[in-house]
Amino acid sequence: MDKYFKRFKTEQPFIKTPPDANLNIIVVIPCYNEPDLLHTIKSLYNCKKTKKNVEVIIVINSGENISSEIVEFNRRTYETANKLIDKINSSKLIFRLVNFEKLPSKFAGVGLARKLGMDEALRRFNLLNHPEGIIVGFDADAEVDKNYLCEIEKHFENFPKTNACSIYFEHPTTGNKFTQNIYKSIISYELHLRYYIGALRYIKFPYSFHTIGSSFAVRAGIYAKQGGMNRRKAGEDFYFLQKIIPLGNYSEINTTKVIPSPRVSDRVPFGTGKAIKKMIQNNVYEYLTYNIEAFEDIKIFFEKKIVFFNQKNKNHNSKEKKELKNIPEIIRIFLENSNFIDDIKKINQNSPNIKIFEKRFFDLFNAFKIIKFLNFAHENYYKKIPAKQASYLLLKKLNIKINKLHTEKEILNIFREIDKK
């Protein structure tokens, strides 16, 4: 952790109160133009008490070119939230609030805000010499089950080798808080998210985990080791966790629940809020996702990966070229355009056994490469299909009983049960 602060430029500490010696969990919440922050604070406050202490760091933030209306709204949020936390703070659960204004427009956004909070959490655990401390990613419009904090504490206690984990989530799909069109949209979008992870598991991709900004936790020492959070304006959670997951000892907490908001949002250029907005504007409530056949192509390629292990013939690429002819055409074209032959040769030169080769193979054909291939395949070969149709086809391949009369919500519930297990 000391090395992290020497290597990377970070802000000065903004929490002056020393951390309690019993501090074990720090929840980090980025907050921008957020009307629901008080609900989020109350949801965390209502959690069952943990054995060790918890802090919640809320990073209210705005960039240098943001409108005065949003800046003023943030300031009012800061004032009202401060009044609430003054009443509810205790020795076991402490909320800490900061308001950053005029952040550099080049970086201002959810990634930077999350980084500011997580770096501060790391700094506090470093003061305690506690690299096993838990930093939790959360959002300012999310809520949780009452056992949320206890289950995080219990999970890392019961599985001490855990580096990081994803936490189970469910968007609300009924109620009066949002319009029925929003509920229809989020059902389809969440189904897409679960279908995508289900498809990755079906093709036996080893790093098949949800990467949601409001639903993950990481050890402080691991956060530092992998270079911390990035400053991306969107997708920061995905990019961050793709550095963490391949380390191994990554797990899931499925005994509690995060409840992210399904609302329309312009806060980030892509993601849930943006997808919901687009569906409502177009008056189309079926989210289009990747065709299952594209995953079948990857599956065939993954099943043949061992044939590219080639200790004795490291300086020749004739075998690799020959084997490429035996995989689906679209993925062969993609690989040939991606310097696959040269990359696989380098992997072989540093792989004394098949186990190391497989690890390095998936470091090469990682989550980023999969998305790149899927986009390439759908630009040139396949058409995206509705999430309900794709999910129906995947469940049939998994030999799970399903019929075309199932509603989209019923199919989503099937996938939720699969993910819980």
Please compute the mean of the pLDDT values over residues 354-383 and round it to a whole number.
95
Residue 267: φ, ψ to 5° = -65, -30
Who contacts 20 (Cβ-Cβ below 8 Å, separation ≥6)? Answer: 53, 91
How many Å apart are CA 50 and CA 257, to the nearest integer? 16
pLDDT at 319 over 70: no
CA 185, 187, 193, 198 torsion: positive or negative? negative
Closest CA to 330 of 301, 303, 310, 287: 301
Instruction: Give me the domains of the chain, ranges plus CATH numbers.
Output: 2-284 (3.90.550.10), 292-380 (no CATH)
Closest CA to 330 of 293, 365, 303, 366: 293
- Output the DSSP codes for 32-96: SS-TTHHHHHHHHHTSPPPSSEEEEEEEEEEETT--HHHHHHHHHHHHHHHHHHHHH--SSEEEE
Lowest average pLDDT, out of 15-19, 95-99, 156-160, 334-338, goes to: 334-338
Who contacts 220 (Cβ-Cβ below 8 Å, separation ≥6)? Answer: 1, 121, 122, 125, 126, 130, 131, 132, 133, 134, 135
Q: Are strands 93-103 and 23-31 parallel, antiparallel or unpaired?
A: unpaired
pTM of the model: 0.93
E runs forming strands in 121-182: 134-137, 143-144, 164-169
Half-sphere exposure of 174 (CA within 13 A, CB side): 1
Please compute the mean of the pLDDT values over residues 61-79 and round it to a whole number.
95
pLDDT at 62 over 60: yes
Q: What is the pLDDT of residues 387-413, one digit of tens each?
A: 999 999 999 999 998 877 789 999 999
Q: Which tokens go with 162?
A: 């855990």
Q: Determine the pLDDT at residue 267.
A: 63
Does residue 310 sit in helix, strand or coil?
A: coil
